[in-house]
Structure 1
């Protein structure tokens, strides 16, 4: 048995994988609190993560009916780009700043200029640093909380911290490290000279964890944590990775031609590659994968959160919202939404706000606003797919995950907007499943030597063919017109977008 954990923004998911049967035998979930402010601050306390994990773990264990001592290994998926800081005693200094924290937009612009702009950032790192990456958070801390900055002894990402909580070991792996802003995705090494832009004395460089490869173990679960969880001695913790990296493994996206699209709090679109990406658009993040390859990715910061905001505006439940959106028809009666309620990463508009455009006396209806929210967020992902395709990424099939994937209307919308076949995996929690698969890969590699990750994915990742949809020619054409209207409105309000 293998334990997979996904520590996300809204909560922690836990799955127990029975590898012999090739299926999940138990799962659990517990929500997180969020520290939020109008200036873009988005933070969480790390104890919220560990408390949520324990609650979700107990639920998964109860549902599985297994003996907890049967668990052999643990894999952790975590929200990317977060900043968790430890002092010299190994204690957490302050709440973690999250991927969706845009409070450091000014600092990111300052650092990007120091790097030599877009071209300079690509030359040094292989990608363009963006608001939300860990790098700008460090500069923000130095400028706003210098006393806390002076205490930094270790810099971790959220999944790194959970690995530390389990094992007491401080390490990082290349997939999640790709999103820090001080890591070269081509050489798979830290870039200390970028951190020197913030602190020339080398303190931040000394705070970096050593790097391990994807199939390596972080270490064994500490005895006190093993007793707390009822685990046997010697349970290992795999390298883990960022939620998108684990989502790729959990959807079988480890070969060319498959694209994973996550309709979650944020939107993510990514495809595996066996070679270091070249000539990518600056808005594409050519991250490393957590399977020792690469994972070109685009991320939008506004997705199901926007839809839920509009839904709650009318006090609709999900069924009524979907019914209203379907009644509106393609193009939402001429209403376009630019859904940037939390700024935006793709396009790079961290200070942007949301807009409904094209409103008139005849089309200002709840149905059109509901439809426009779904279409606007999906069009942002369509733009991201175009950027990946321009870089040579093929997309014969989209594997859809996240909460939005449960909507039949949204699945068909994605197929038509992207003009690509869409299907959902049987296990929708791709990141948690991916973490469990990686844990099995790591544990079996240690016991039996080399074992192919692809073989494990083939055994475990199944597709729900009842969710499969193909693009409809007439809808594809209609969405093309609506998408062009979206792009026109975007360029008029934000001439430098994209």
Structure 2
């Protein structure tokens, strides 16, 4: 049996998978996020450790594992001292305290274009290097204590094996990794006065990190268990959906929404609106557009103004409306927006309300607005690389009407994988690679259950609505900046 472990933000998940890719069991443990203030988001690495070891204990009572694959949240900073203990809580990917650090680093390196040329992306608040800069400036004592810098899945890999390391897909999200060299950019780090020796060695996602420590092997009753390096959650989730070659892509509709497309192009987005990262597979990168509030927008509306119901109840309400929501437009910018605007001040808007509108119109407009947000990413990525096929995963993929709305917006069929277990499934695939299976063998695990085609008439309606959606943002852009988000 193979085990995929995903260090998420709200939980740690472990997935037991057999040799042919069938899921045998799934386990999880919740995690706490600490918010010291309105901008800060942190977790205790020891919480991850406790959760993972608890899950391994539970798994060991039922299953014999031969290989463990790891994945986890990108960008989050783990600092270890000389005794290999956490110096402080991990600063998470969703932390927003580093705006000044992003500006400082960009100026040091000669501007945003130079940053993108070196590392493939501009500096965002969530990236790792600005967090290091923040600690160096604001918590100098903690920086001086630091002897190692790791990412979440790599901290767990160290706990399990005693070996430190990372992979290109996670390294490429730090802001310190050269996408043309696949190495840490030591010149960049020197300019930023950050010690490059703090960073771990980089090996392939499917490579062997080490074997499970002897004391843990004895504790769980396992022998010679391989622990595979693993990869970043977005890259590994794409692998789990079978995105393995240029032109294949994935739409993920979860709390946030992403459009990921694999590429062999050596060119990042010069505007910095689309992320450019290493895939978990060798010699492949991916473009990724991010919208910050996908299903979160719908959940927020239902929790505040509606009632929580089943998808079937929601679908009934939506079916009582019509494409275009009878003139309602929704901007899903409840937490600002990443792609395409990079605007933290953007706000959510429900526009065009009249006394004749219904509950179903409001629900449909929210789903259509989320779909337009995904289309923004899709249209940008299309200018950077060809897109041949798309698969859809996440909570939104469970509602066929929503999938058809997205397909009609993108004018492209959407394939629904038979197994949708996200990054944990991809981590199990990497565990199989580490145990000797080929890439070709693990990709056979991924099967398409259904393909949803665009609706021709809806396409025409959404072309007009999408133009209105874009114009609404441009009209309100200056207003957004007059009302900054409240902490």
TM-score, normalized by length of structure 1?
0.89
For residue 364 of structure 1, report the CA deviation from its aligned partner: 6.1
Gaps of 5+ in 1: 445-450
* Pairing 1:34–2:17 present: no
- Deviations along 1:155-194, one digit per CA (max 9) or x if unpaired, are 1111111111211111011011111001111110111333
Q: Give yes or no for contact 1:284–1:297 (8 Å, CA) kept in 2.
A: yes
* Pairing 1:491–2:483 present: no
User: Which residue in the other structure is 1:447 paired with?
Assistant: none
- Deviations along 1:16-66, one digit per CA (max 9) or x if unpaired, are 1111x331112223322222366332222223323333455566667xxx5
User: Which residue in the other structure is 1:46 paired with?
Assistant: 45
- Deviations along 1:184-230, one digit per CA (max 9) or x if unpaired, are 111101113333454x2x43x12110111233211111122223433
- Deviations along 1:379-404, one digit per CA (max 9) or x if unpaired, are 22211111111112223x22111222
Q: Give yes or no for contact 2:75–2:93 (8 Å, CA) kept in 1.
A: yes
CA distance in structure 2 between the aligned counterparts of 1:118 and 1:24, rounded to whole angstroms: 44
Q: Give yes or no for contact 1:27–1:61 (8 Å, CA) kept in 2.
A: no
User: Which residue in the other structure is 1:214 paired with?
Assistant: 205
Q: Give yes or no for contact 1:311–1:321 (8 Å, CA) kept in 2.
A: no
User: Which residue in the other structure is 2:63 paired with?
Assistant: 67
CA distance in structure 1 between the aligned counterparts of 2:86 and 2:221, rounded to whole angstroms: 26
CA distance in structure 1 between the aligned counterparts of 2:109 and 2:477, rounded to whole angstroms: 24
**SS of 1:494's equivalent?**
helix
User: Which residue in the other structure is 2:397 paired with?
Assistant: 405
For residue 83 of structure 1, report the CA deviation from its aligned partner: 0.9
Q: 1:239 to 1:193 in 2, by over 3 A?
A: same
CA distance in structure 2 between the aligned counterparts of 1:363 and 1:94, rounded to whole angstroms: 55
Q: Give yes or no for contact 2:5–2:15 (8 Å, CA) kept in 1.
A: yes
Q: Give yes or no for contact 1:27–1:56 (8 Å, CA) kept in 2.
A: no
Residue number among 317, 326, 333 corresponding to 1:324 in the alignment: 317
- Deviations along 1:76-96, one digit per CA (max 9) or x if unpaired, are 111111111111111112222
CA distance in structure 2 between the aligned counterparts of 1:17 and 1:132, rounded to whole angstroms: 32
**SS of 2:326's equivalent?**
helix
Residue number among 303, 306, 310 corresponding to 2:294 in the alignment: 303
**SS of 1:110's equivalent?**
helix
Aligned residue pairs: how many?
Answer: 477
Residue number among 170, 174, 192 corresponding to 1:180 in the alignment: 174
Residue number among 184, 191, 196 corresponding to 1:190 in the alignment: 184
| Greater mean alpha carbon deviation, residues 254-263 or residues 100-109 | 100-109
Q: Give yes or no for contact 2:78–2:91 (8 Å, CA) kept in 1.
A: yes
User: Which residue in the other structure is 1:16 paired with?
Assistant: 16
For residue 254 of structure 1, report the CA deviation from its aligned partner: 0.4
User: Which residue in the other structure is 2:355 paired with?
Assistant: 362
Q: Give yes or no for contact 1:102–1:350 (8 Å, CA) kept in 2.
A: no
Q: 1:119 to 1:280 in 2, by over 3 A?
A: closer
User: Which residue in the other structure is 2:150 paired with?
Assistant: 156
Q: Give yes or no for contact 1:277–1:294 (8 Å, CA) kept in 2.
A: no
Q: 1:496 to 1:73 in 2, by over 3 A?
A: farther
CA distance in structure 1 between the aligned counterparts of 2:263 and 2:340, rounded to whole angstroms: 23
Q: 1:148 to 1:483 in 2, by over 3 A?
A: same
For residue 455 of structure 1, report the CA deviation from its aligned partner: 2.8
Q: Give yes or no for contact 2:247–2:263 (8 Å, CA) kept in 1.
A: no
User: Which residue in the other structure is 1:340 paired with?
Assistant: 333
Q: Give yes or no for contact 2:16–2:26 (8 Å, CA) kept in 1.
A: yes
Residue number among 226, 240, 250 corresponding to 1:260 in the alignment: 250
* Pairing 1:285–2:267 present: no
For residue 236 of structure 1, report the CA deviation from its aligned partner: 1.1
Q: 1:15 to 1:120 in 2, by over 3 A?
A: same
